[in-house]
Copies of this chain bind each other. A is one copy, B any other.
Amino acid sequence: MKGLLTPNSVAIIGASNDETKLGGMLLKNMINAGFTGHLYPVNPKGGEIQGLKAYTSITEVPEPVDLAVISIKAAFVPDEMANLKKNGCHCATILTAGFKEDSPEGKILEQKLVAAAKEADVKFFGPNCFGNMNPWAGVNATFAHLLPRKGHISIFSQSGAVGSSIIDWAYFNKIGIANFVTFGNKADLDEADIIPEISEDPNTKVIGMYCEGISNGHRFVSAIENMPVDKPIVVYKSGRTQAGAAAASSHTGSLAGADAVNNVIFKKLNVYRASSLDDMFDVLNVFSGCDQMKKGGLGIITNAGGLGVMSADAAFDAKNVHAVKFSDETIAEIRTRVPTVAGVTNPIDIRGDAKPEYFKEVIDILSHDPEVGALVIMGSPLDTADLEAVAQSIVEIKDQIPVPFVVCFAGGHKCDKANSYLKEAGIPTYPTPDRAIHALDVLRTYTINKEKSHTPMSYPTATGGGREAAKKVLDKARAEGRD
C-alpha cells in the first residue's frame, strides 16, 4: 500500500497542459506540492507537459511507478489496468467519474474495471474519487489546489465536496494533516483497508472520517478492533435522521441504517462520533495537539471574569472533566507570585491587564498541581491585554507544560492574530470556552475508555469482550437486512 500513501514515483495518466482540465490540475497540484520523487505525465500526444517530459503511455515509463493517478475518459479506464501491469505499477487512484454513480452502463463499466484491476494485481481508490494527499511526502493527487501543512491528522472523506471543505478549513486554520484519502465509489479499497496502514503511519496521531454510510460494517469494525497501533478515531457520520438518510441515499447511495446501531458500535469501539463539522474539527484539533489526558481535573486561567463564568458552566456540564478545587497551598502560591489576581478559585482570574508573565506564572503553578490533568488558558481581547504577546510566551514555554492544554481567546480581529502564533505551533485554539472544554472532555473520555479496555479483568483482550458485543449488534443489524 506504500504506493498509495507515500509514493516515490507517480504517473499522472491523462496529464494536460491545460490547467483548467482535471488532468492538468492534477499534474499542477503534484508539482506545487513539492513532490521530490519522479513525476511522469502520461498523454497519448507525448511531448512536454507543464515543463516535464511526457510519455505516450505508462508502458513507456522507464521504471515501475508506485502510484498511477488516473483522470482519463471512463471508457478507457478498465483497459488502462493492463498497461499498469506492463509497467509494474500496483497502485492507482482513479478520479475519473462516469461509473456506478452515473448510469447502468457505468455500473457495468465499473464491474469491468474491478475485474481488470484484479487481473493486473492493481489496488485502487475510486473510481469517482477526489484523490489523496500526503503533505509529508509532497503528494497532492487531488482536484484541490490547496495543500494544508504537514501535521498529524489523517482524514478520510466519503464526499469529495466535504473533503474540499475540510482541506479548505485545515489550510485556513493552519491545521496540519498527515494524509487525506477519498474512496469515491469504493470499487476496491475502502476505510477498512486503509485504517491499518494509517494507524502505523508515524505522522498520524488521530484519524478523522466523514461518511454518510459505512459500506461494510463488519469489516469496518474488525479493522478498528485490530488496528496495529491504537489511535483515536473521530467520525462525523451524517444521515443521522430519517430525512438525512434519504438525502444520503440520493447523494452517495449510502444506506444509513438505524442510527442508534451506529452509536452503540462507535461507543464500543471508543470512536468519537462528532455531531457536526465544527465538532469534528474541534475534536480532531485536540487529539492532534494534545497527548492523553490522565486526570479529569481542569486548571482554568482567564484574564476575564466573564469567560471564567462560561468555562465554569461548561466544566460543570462536562462528563469526564471538572474544574479542580484548588488547595490552600496552590492559592497561596498564586497570591505570592501573582499578587494582583482577581479570582483565586478555579477559574483563576488574573485580570484584564494581565501581562504574559502572569499567564506564565499561573500556567506553571496550575500545571504542576497534582489534581490538574489539563489546562484551559483563556483571554479576552481587551485593549489593556496584549494577547499576541501572551500567545508568543505560551509558544515559548509550551514544551515545559507537563499536561495537555488548549487556548481560548474569545473574539475576532485581535484574537485572530494571537491565535495564528498558537496555530503555527500546533496548539489547539477554540473560539469559546464551551468548545475548548468539550474538546478536552472528549480527550479525557478517550483516555478513560482506553485505560478500561486494557484492564484484562473486565475486558479480556484475548477474547475481545468489546468485539463480541459489537458483533452481536452488527449481526442483529445484518439480520435486519442492513450491512
Contacts and interface: CB of A to CB of B under 8 A. Distances in A.
Contacts of A170: 412
A191 interface: no
A310 B238 contact: yes
A431 B277 contact: yes
A70 B202 CA distance: 60
A115 to B, nearest CB: 28
Interface residues of A toward B: which range? 35 or more
Contacts of A277: 310, 410, 431-432, 434
A435 interface: yes
A316 B416 contact: no
Contact of A252 (B171, B305, B311): B305
Given A244-B313, A411-B164, A412-B170, A212 B143 contact: no
A240 interface: yes
Contacts of A332: none
A241 B413 contact: no
A35 to B, nearest CB: 18
Contact of A168 (B166, B313, B384, B414): B414
Nearest to A300: B247
A159 B252 CA distance: 48
B382 A164 contact: yes
A457 to B, nearest CB: 34
Interface string A311-339: 11101110000010000000000000000
Contact of A312 (B167, B243, B275, B352): B243
A12 B431 CA distance: 34
A434 B413 CA distance: 24
A210 B307 CA distance: 11
Given A380-B162, A382-B161, A412-B173, A247 B435 contact: no
A423 B145 CA distance: 25
B239 A415 contact: no
A168 B415 contact: yes
Contacts of A168: 381, 411-415
A343 interface: yes
B241 A312 contact: yes
Q: Chain B CB within 10 Å — which of A145, A247, A317, A416 has the most? A: A247
Given A161-B352, A170-B412, A416-B172, A250 B25 contact: no
Nearest to A22: B384
A248 interface: yes
Given A143-B382, A247-B311, 14 more contacts: A159-B306, A160-B382, A170-B412, A238-B313, A244-B309, A246-B345, A247-B343, A248-B312, A251-B305, A251-B309, A276-B434, A277-B432, A277-B434, A278-B432
11 contacts: A143-B383, A159-B305, A162-B380, A168-B412, A169-B411, A170-B412, A241-B312, A241-B313, A247-B343, A251-B308, A275-B434
